[in-house]
């Protein structure tokens, strides 16, 4: 077993780091993230689309999904639209739209729709007023449930309930999994690396009395 430490970074090192170096380090060190576009509109129907890598499962019954919004030091259009209208869409980013999706993170003026500026297509359904991304293979219609302020750094966790799900193709397996590989959904590392994902393995539900025999070196 290789227990060698090649490099150690202390809390002091982190606080003294160049801002962008630290941002890259802390954004990549917690591993690969999901890649989503969140679609909203304001109360006048102006549409907005933004890139998010913090979409996370909260619970399945009721079906809750959350994401983190950065501090309100600048206007956050996604957040203000959600608080105004109470709904939004989450659209998984696929290999075919990584560049367009990345461009949606640019700081556009409120009146400018990222859909038009970044070459993506608005798509609507009856029950959710917010725009979906037509090109996205897996789309969720969400209703806003709660905003949890994170005191440590001024960010907040937005929790929403899944109202409906759209697949552009047969991505749902008989067991209930979404086949993200078939959908060609990508993963993000840091804030600007997009990864094609290939599945390594699938295991049954882990039970203490049904584990394989591991070769434990510390016995
Ligand atoms: C890969 C990537 C992931 C991002 N993830 C988040 C995120 O999880 N939360 C957040 O507040 N901003 C995130 N951003 C930044 C937003 O996309 C950016 O601030 C955008 O302009 C917000 O748009 P809005 O003001 O229309 O909401 C991310 C940017 C990139 C490039």
Give the pLDDT confidence of 58-87 residue by residue, as tens digits: 999 999 999 999 998 888 999 999 999 999
Per-residue pLDDT band for 169 (boundaries 50, 70, 90) equals: very high
Residue 72 is predicted with a pLDDT of 87
Mean pLDDT of 90-116: 95
Res 215 pLDDT > 90:
no
How far apart CA 91 and CA 52 sit, in angstroms, is 10
Q: What's the CA gap between 219 and 177, in Å, rounded?
A: 38
Atom of ligand 1 nearest to the CA of 78: 27
Between 79 and 214, whose confidence is greater?
79
pLDDT of residue 1: 64
On whether the CB atoms of residues 93 and 35 are closer than 8 A, the answer is yes
Going from the Cα of 25 to the center of ligand 1, the distance in angstroms, rounded, reads 17
77 CA to centre of ligand 1 in angstroms: 10
Distance, CA 51 to ligand 1 centroid (Å)? 5
Q: Residue 138: its pLDDT value, please? A: 98
Share of the chain above pLDDT 90, in %: 87
User: Quick one: pLDDT band at residue 41, thresholds 50, 70, 90?
Assistant: very high
115 Cα to the center of ligand 1, angstroms: 15
Average pLDDT, integer, range 134-151: 98
Q: Which of 156, 191, 166, 168 is nearest to 96 (CA)?
A: 168
- The residue whose CA is least distant from atom 10 of ligand 1 is 69
Asked whether 118 lines ligand 1 (CB < 6 A), one says no
Which among 201, 180, 213 has a CA at the least distance from the CA of 35? Answer: 180
Please indicate whether residue 110, judged by its CB atom, sits closer than 6 Å to ligand 1.
no
Q: What is the pLDDT of residues 2-40, one digit of tens each?
A: 778 999 999 999 999 999 999 999 999 999 999 999 999
* pLDDT of amino acid 150: 97
Tell whether ligand 1 has an atom less than 6 A from the beta carbon of residue 37. no
Residue 219 pLDDT exceeds 80 = no
* Ligand 1 neighbour 54 (Cβ under 6 A): yes
Task: Please answer whether residues 147 and 83 qualify as being in contact, where contact means their C-beta atoms are separated by less than 8 angstroms.
Answer: yes
pLDDT band at residue 152 under the 50/70/90 scheme: very high
pLDDT digits (tens, 9 = 90+) for 178-197: 999 999 999 999 999 999 99
Query: Could you give the CA distance from residue 162 to residue 143 in angstroms, rounded to a whole number?
Result: 7
| DSSP letter string, the chain | ----------HHHHHHS-HHHHHHHHHHHT--EE-EEEEEE-TT--EEEEEES--EEEEETTEEEEEEE--TTS--HHHHHHHHHSEEEEEE-BGGGHHHHHHTTS---TTS-HHHHTT--EE--SS--SPEETT-SEEEEEEEEEEEEETTTTEEEEEEEEEEEEESSS-B-TTS-B-TTTTTB-EEETTTEEE--------PPP-GGG------TT-
Pocket test for ligand 1, best of 27, 70, 88 (most atoms within 8 A of CB): 70
């Amino acid at each position: 077993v290789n227990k060698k430490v090649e490099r150690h970074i202390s809390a002091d090192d982190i606080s003294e780091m160049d801002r962008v170096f630290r941002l890259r380090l802390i954004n990549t060190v917690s591993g690969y993230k999901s890649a989503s576009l969140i679609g909203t509109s304001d109360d006048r129907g102006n549409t907005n689309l933004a890139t998010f890598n913090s979409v996370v499962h909260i619970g399945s019954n009721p079906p809750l999904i959350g994401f983190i919004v950065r501090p309100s030091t600048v206007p956050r259009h996604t957040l203000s639209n959600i608080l105004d209208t109470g709904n939004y869409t989450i659209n998984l980013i696929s290999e075919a739209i990584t560049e367009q999706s990345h461009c949606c993170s640019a700081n556009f003026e409120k009146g400018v729709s990222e859909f038009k500026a970044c070459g993506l297509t608005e798509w609507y359904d009856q029950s959710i007023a917010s725009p979906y991304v037509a090109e996205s293979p897996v789309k969720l219609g969400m209703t806003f449930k709660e905003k949890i302020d994170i005191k440590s750094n001024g960010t907040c966790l937005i929790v929403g309930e899944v109202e409906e799900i759209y697949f552009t193709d047969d991505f749902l397996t008989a067991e209930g999994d979404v086949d993200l590989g078939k959908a060609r959904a990508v993963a993000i590392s840091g804030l600007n690396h997009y990864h094609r994902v290939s599945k390594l393995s699938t295991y049954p539900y882990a039970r203490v009395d049904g584990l394989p025999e591991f070769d434990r070196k510390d016995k």
